[in-house]
Structure 1
Amino acid sequence: MKKVERVQTGLRLERRLLKVLKGLAEHLDMSVAEIVEGMALHAFEGKAPFSQVTLEKIEHLKIVYDLDLTAEDSHKLSEGGHEE
Structure 2
Amino acid sequence: MNIERVQTGVRIEKRLLKVLKALAELKDLSLGDLLEGICLHALDGKAPFEKETLKQVKELKRIYGLSLTAADSHQLKEAGDAR
Give 1:46-65 correspondences, 5 Å limit: 46-65=45-64
TM-score by length of 2: 0.93
Q: State the partner residue of 1:75.
A: 74
C-alpha distance in 1, partners of 2:34/2:26?
A: 11
TM-score by length of 1: 0.92
C-alpha distance in 1, partners of 2:10/2:55?
A: 26
Total equivalences in the alignment: 80
RMSD: 0.8
Structure 1 stretches of 4+ with a deviation exceeding 3 A read none
Q: CA deviation at 1:11?
A: 1.3
C-alpha distance in 2, partners of 1:13/1:78?
A: 11
C-alpha distance in 1, partners of 2:2/2:32?
A: 16
C-alpha distance in 1, partners of 2:11/2:30?
A: 16
Give 1:1-84 correspondences, 5 Å limit: 2-80=1-79
Name structure 1 gaps, 5 residues minimum. none
